[in-house]
Structure 1
Amino acid sequence: MPRQPASRPARERLLAAAAELFYEQGIAATGVDAVLARAGVSPSTLYAHFPGKDALVAAYLEDRHQAWVETWDEVLAELTDPVERLLSVFDAVALHRAREGNRRGCAFLAAATELPVGHPGQRWLEADSRLLADRLRELAVAAGIEDADEVAAGLLLLYDGALAREARNATIADLARGNPLDQARSLAASLLAVHAPERH
């Protein structure tokens, strides 16, 4: 890929380069030199903005988390039906994929396999997990579902399973069975048909 345009501020170029490389190649496999070359900046410029690679990784995950929150908020803003709002997590992922690309599956799942305990990026992995669990529960309560905790946990399991399945290298047989997110959404809709109160 080409270097980041020099007209962009150095911090933006560093984060954009890091986002591309960390997502495409993995965090551990990407050295600081590769980020510097992609961003077109010197080591001193990097360290003027970030104390080191760990801080750059954390900033990358923070940006990715914020983009995901904004996308999900955008999808929710268009929906009024309580069940559709619960299913919105799958629609938001689809929209996020369309905008950001999906070359390696979920960036947070990938990062979770690489970051050690105590890494500053763990804060954003935890924020992603909290957002999913808390929002799905809130939406389940708003939908009038009595066993909101159980249903939210079931939706989260379907969501996580779909992303994990998606992250695998798909074979022709996998592709023939369909998109894991579409399948998870369909299963989630079936779950909600049983648990959601009847609408008149």
Structure 2
Amino acid sequence: MSSRDVPDTSRRISVDVVQAALRAAERLGKDVADVPVQAIAQEAGVSRSTLLRRIGGSRQALDAAVRAAGVDPGGQRPVRERAIEAGAHLIGEHGLAALTLEAVATAARCSVPSLYAAFGGRDELLRAIFERHLPLLNVEEVIAGPHADLDETVNRIYRLLAEALTLEPRVLPAMLAEALARPGEPDLQRLLQHFTPRKLAGLGQWLADEMAAGRIRTLPLPLLIQQMIAPAVMHFVLRPAIEQVPDLDLPSVEETCAVFAEAFLYAVATPSATVSGQGV
């Protein structure tokens, strides 16, 4: 049955059947969409085959009738959440070019119009995916919280980087691969234009404050950011492949983060930070 047929079928479903579905859902403590047809049939006092005839053989039609009665049948997470998850997996597995609304709709089991309703278009969906998976935005929470010493803050930032770069779906590695292969890609440029100011306002402002306080050497801010994150990014992007090399024993992720933090602080922390216990 096509989606075009569902509204007509839903109008033919009796109020008694809809009410039976709602009672069964309440009795079982489930969404209507998750209630077995047999349970609804029992609540309606009919056989399963009779109920299926009354709803036109389609659970989708029954769900539509329940929705028309003003009740969300449930059974699935909101389209926005499903689309962000599906889009992240598409990017992680196939790159930015794989993120089409048609592909996301298929993977998220929704319609393209519902994606437009949730996001307004592909660009906003792409931003929502990177908002969820870009670790430098999470860093804002670290530096906005209670101020730990310089060493602890740097270590926490590296642990956030490691988490975002190693967990599936690997959205950030896919973005980095796109940046290396096609730096002029319009999608990538739009993402950078959207997120770079926030990155500078977050991580960049924290580094600038540390320089102003004399705990970090005065260096050009873009280079200081790159010096902090580039070695770790390179390591964690390549780590899954390196781990496959026989007889190569990599340190744990925790130990690796500690090594990168120590190296960064050794390179940029001032003697005053070290003396006061704020650095290495």
Say how many residue pairs are matched: 193
Distance in 1 between residues matched to 2:246 and 2:103, nearest whole Å: 36
The answer to whether residue 266 in structure 2 is matched with residue 190 in structure 1 is: yes
Q: Of residues 1, 14, 26 in structure 1, which corresponds to 2:95?
A: 26
CA distance in 2, matches of 1:160, 1:122: 16
**What is the aligned partner in structure 2 of residue 94 from structure 1?**
162
Equivalent pairs: percent with the same residue? 21
Q: 2:127 matched to 1:58?
A: yes
1:121 matched residue in structure 2:
191
CA separation of 1:97/1:78 partners in 2, compared to 1, >3 Å: closer, same or farther?
Answer: farther
- The separation in 2 between residues aligned to 1:116 and 1:158, in whole angstroms, is 25
> SS of the residue aligned with 1:145?
coil
Q: Indicate if the aligned counterparts of 1:23 and 1:104 stay in contact, CA closer than 8 A.
A: yes
Match of 1:141 among 201, 212, 229: 212
RMSD of Structure 2 on Structure 1 (CA) = 3.7
Deviations 1:97-124 (A, max 9, x none): 57x4474664653454457247532334
State how far apart, in whole Å, the 1-side matches of 2:98 and 2:121 are. Answer: 16
When normalised by structure 2's length, the TM-score is 0.53
Contact 2:154–2:261 under 8 Å retained in 1: no
Please give the per-residue CA displacement for 1:49-85, whole angstroms capped at 9, x wherever unaligned: 33432332122223334x6534552487465223322
SS in 1 for 2:159: helix
| Alignment TM-score, normalising by the size of structure 1 | 0.70
Partner residue, 2:249: 176
CA distance in 2, matches of 1:87, 1:33: 41
**1:73 and 2:141 correspond:** yes
Residue 100 (structure 2) pairs with residue 40 (structure 1): no
Deviation at 1:45, TM superposition (A): 1.0
Q: Is the 8 A contact 1:19 1:60 kept in 2?
A: yes
- Out of 40-49 and 166-175, give the one that drifted further: 166-175
Q: Any idea what SS the aligned residue of 2:115 has?
A: helix
Q: Is 1:36–1:42's contact at 8 Å kept on the other side of the alignment?
A: yes
Q: Distance in 1 between matches of 2:247 and 2:161?
A: 19
Amino acid at match of 1:27: L
| 2:180 is the alignment partner of 1:109 | no
Q: Which runs of 4+ in 1 moved over 6 A?
A: none
Distance change (3 Å), C-alpha of 1:166 and 1:146: closer
Change (3 A) 1:148 1:139: same
Distance 1:133 1:156, change over 3 A: farther
**Letter of the 2:208 counterpart:** R
Partner Cα separation in structure 1 for residue 270 and residue 112 of structure 2: 57
CA distance in 2, matches of 1:17, 1:27: 13
Correspondence for 2:152: 84
